[in-house]
A and B are shown apart, each in its own frame.
Chain A
Amino acid sequence: MTTVGTALPAAQTTRRAWGPALPRAIAGLVILVLWQVTVRAFAPDFVATPTGIAEAIPRVVSSAAFLGAVGITLAATAEGLVVALIVGTIIGVLMGRSVAVDRAIRLWINCFNAMPMLLILPLVSLWFGYSSLARFATIVFAAIFAVIINAAEGAKSVPREYVEVGRSFRSSGLRALFEIVLPASTPLLLAGLRLAAGRAIIGAVVAEFFTAIPGVGYFILYNSRTYHHNEAFVAVIFLAGFGVGFDALVNWATHRYLPWYRRDEQTE
């Protein structure tokens, strides 16, 4: 828990500098001590404790089993995410630029977006078996609707004048798309990417839970079933860290390379 604590929102803590740092540190300590004492007093030995986790971290992060699992899950997530980004952006831009397409599929996109992505698991395991293909499909399904909705919103909100100026200079449709619509909707595309990445890795994990194929999800499942809760918890910390880290990476990259885009605070 402490590792996550120190790695979390730098932007938030620096803003108010030292004000809440002390109560925060005390509360963190109290939480850790309470956790430790409660588990020691009431729970079986295998249950995760802060000291147990701290002890397990170096062992786990240098173990081939964990690194292999992380590699597999990250590669699968990246693969699914890229497909979801490409296909999702195409569908989203079509929706954003064409009222007819929007009317035809908006309803279904919203429905699928509101549906718990877990529901796809039994279907994909029926279709693809208990395989990495099932995981791939789950990741794409988990990520794509966030991409579509944000891309559609972005493409719709491109100021009309931009497109009209492009047209008066006789830019072709495709060129207008790549040089006007997509750049103008970048902030929302980035928001979609951040949302989608978080969902994608959770999609990977639940698919691994469900199909028991190797990866971080299976690492957690296996270790918790064999009463290695401390080890399993390290993987949970990794997952929480991934979400936060990816967010931070996108923010950093935006500030560094696209400083003219003010990122919205709201992502939903």
Chain B
Amino acid sequence: MNALKRHGPFLASLFGGLALWEIVGRNTSAAFMAPLSTTIVRLIELADAGQLWPEVASSLSLFITGFVLSVIVGLPLGLLFARMRVLREALDLYIMILYATPMVALIPFILSLMGFGFAPKVLVVFLFAVFPILYNTVEGARSIKPELIEVARSYRSSEWALWREVMLPYTLPYTMTGVRQAIGRALVGMVAAEFFLSASGLGGLIMNASQSFDTAGVFGATLIVGLLGVGLTKVGSVLEQRFARWRG
């Protein structure tokens, strides 16, 4: 009873929305909108024909490669900026500018320079994701109390220990905020790369379905990307919450 009370509104909203989708879909032309049932049937068809999972895998490998790369670059670079004040002051304005630049507008350049392979797509995902991580890491590292570093110093802590014991724990909560934002942006980058570079993965599946007027296919693949987005965003929020406790 308690569980029903707690989750009732959520479930009602969920099923209400899905029912609305079904009803509207059934009462409009099939070219305009596919009802939920048709969409799911179409997804099962695609999966049976072996057309769905390889695309999901392709999209995920693109997402993960670009995202991991952006953490590998963004986190250490952010910490380095925090440690070397001159570097930070010199570059923070330019990071802000890049952060504010609509990355999607750079895709045509990447296309004509790097062509259609996997690498340009990874670059797109990386560019979308790296700046939130870098920016938030720098912000976090900037908020480290100077006394902490001074105390560590007076106890003759080595540079490595200083990074590991003071800077990293202090900065990670902020980095995780960046990671959460970066997950959302990397997903956008993934779809953008698959739409505007060469059609591949789930984005490609959507494009192909749309070009062959397969509305149910468009809805199905879009639904999968949407679910992926909701799931990954959830992972990001959980990570952020988990590390938020460290905030001093």
Contacts and interface: CB of A to CB of B under 8 A. Distances in A.
Interface residues of A, number: 59
Contacts of A106: 13
A240 B108 contact: no
A104 B17 CA distance: 8
B96 A27 contact: no
Interface stretch (A83-91, A110-118, A156-164): A110-118
A33 interface: no
B97 A4 contact: yes
A127 B185 CA distance: 26
A116 B105 contact: no
Contacts of B107: 209
Contacts of B3: none
A127 B13 contact: no
Contacts of B12: 103-104
A205 B192 CA distance: 12
A23 B86 contact: yes
A227 interface: yes
A31 B10 CA distance: 51
Given A107-B13, A118-B191, A8 B102 contact: no
A127 B32 contact: yes
17 contacts: A4-B97, A20-B89, A26-B90, A114-B184, A115-B229, A116-B187, A116-B229, A119-B206, A123-B222, A126-B32, A126-B210, A126-B213, A202-B102, A224-B109, A233-B109, A240-B102, A244-B100
Given A24-B90, A202-B102, A224-B112, 16 more contacts: A1-B97, A4-B97, A20-B92, A27-B90, A104-B13, A107-B13, A114-B184, A116-B184, A116-B229, A117-B188, A118-B192, A202-B104, A210-B196, A221-B108, A229-B112, A236-B105
Contact of B108 (A26, A121, A225): A225
Nearest to A7: B97
What's the interface size class on B, roughly?
A: 35 or more
Nearest to A227: B112
Nearest to A4: B97
Among A111, A122, A209, the most chain B Cβ lie within 10 Å of the Cβ of A122
Contacts of B86: 23
B91 interface: yes
Interface of A: 1, 4-5, 8-9, 12-13, 19-20, 23-24, 26-28, 31, 43, 47-48, 103-108, 111, 114-119, 121-123, 125-127, 201-202, 205-206, 209-210, 217, 220-221, 224-225, 227, 229, 232-233, 235-236, 239-240, 243-244, 268
B37 interface: no
B77 to A, nearest CB: 14
Given A24-B90, A27-B90, A118-B188, A123 B210 contact: yes
A224 to B, nearest CB: 4
Nearest to B210: A122
Contacts of A119: 191, 206, 222, 225-226
Given A118-B195, A125-B210, A240 B97 contact: yes
A225 B108 CA distance: 7
A14 to B, nearest CB: 13
Nearest to A233: B109
Interface in B127-165: none
Given A24-B89, A126-B215, A240-B97, A103 B9 contact: yes
A236 B127 CA distance: 15
Contact of B94 (A31, A104, A116, A244): A31
A13 B96 CA distance: 12
Given A24-B90, A106-B13, A229-B112, A235 B105 contact: yes
Contact of B104 (A48, A114, A205, A224): A205
A125 to B, nearest CB: 7
Given A118-B195, A122-B210, A236 B13 contact: no
Contacts of B184: 114, 116
Interface string B2-24: 00000001101110110000000
